[in-house]
Homo-oligomer: A and B are copies of this chain.
């Protein structure tokens, strides 16, 4: 089974070395296995998990919620609560999505008028 150094893992999942260590410390991932020299050896499963965690973070799930979720997954139980957490976050994401779309409309309109102004100014000169 192939495993990855912290550096490789960082590369693969787009997090910094600091973040990987910190995520492990706070229980957001792992505990990650160590090699004979005491260094982290990330498995593919670790990386998959990190990919999920990254997506959740990127979309604004609070670290504390992710900690709770990770804890439940590690314990192998609490399916109901896990479902709850995911559903709650999904609602959050949907809300945010709507807000982004709304804002995009406003931005497009504003950018349109500014660009129009610039064009007029140029043709006037």
Contacts and interface: CB of A to CB of B under 8 A. Distances in A.
A45 to B, nearest CB: 15
B108 A55 contact: no
A91 to B, nearest CB: 10
Contacts of A106: 52, 55
A104 B94 contact: yes
A57 to B, nearest CB: 10
Contacts of A114: 79, 82-83, 86
Query: Contact size class for A?
Result: 20 to 34
A115 B83 contact: yes
A80 interface: yes
Interface in A74-125: 79-80, 82-83, 86-87, 89-90, 93-94, 96-97, 99-104, 106-108, 110-111, 114-115, 117-118
Interface of A: 52, 55-56, 58-59, 79-80, 82-83, 86-87, 89-90, 93-94, 96-97, 99-104, 106-108, 110-111, 114-115, 117-118
